[in-house]
Amino acid sequence: MEIAETIIEVRYAETDQMGVVYHNNYLVWMEIGRTRLIEQLGFRYFDMEEAGYLSPVLDVHIHYGKPLRYGQKAVVKTWIKGYDGLRVTYGYEICYEETKEVAITGETEHVCVTKEDFRPVSLRRTFPNWHEAYLKALE
């Protein structure tokens, strides 16, 4: 299984009044990790958009464990958890860089759609190179 790792330095602006990372920022970090994984597989999401397609989020699940704080570093681990040629589910684990302790786990589900009408398309047919890379990354 292919796993991308991205280091995030927790910025002050990402914390709330309690001094911990505001929960919505984890979604941003997950997107950063997903983009890194796609690049690691040899592609760019930008190119998909330029070709007239998007990959919107259909579903999000996050389990919040131990909170991260300003000044700490996190590692976002991202992998393909499931893929059926149409839908792809990315898995995430965000850990403390120093201790490797898990802060959050999560997943997002996506589908490829046309930009003009959001009609779903088969990744297998529309982007066969992505399809093959996703299948290989699942192994």
Catalogue the active-site residues: 16
Length reported for the chain: 139
Give dist(CA 123, CA 36) in Å, integer. Answer: 19
Which of 3, 36, 138 lies closest to 45 in space, CA to CA?
36
Let me know: does 82 contact 90? Beta carbons within 8 Å: no
Q: How many CB atoms lie within 10 A of CB 19?
A: 11
Helix (H, G, I), strand (E, B) or coil at 37: helix
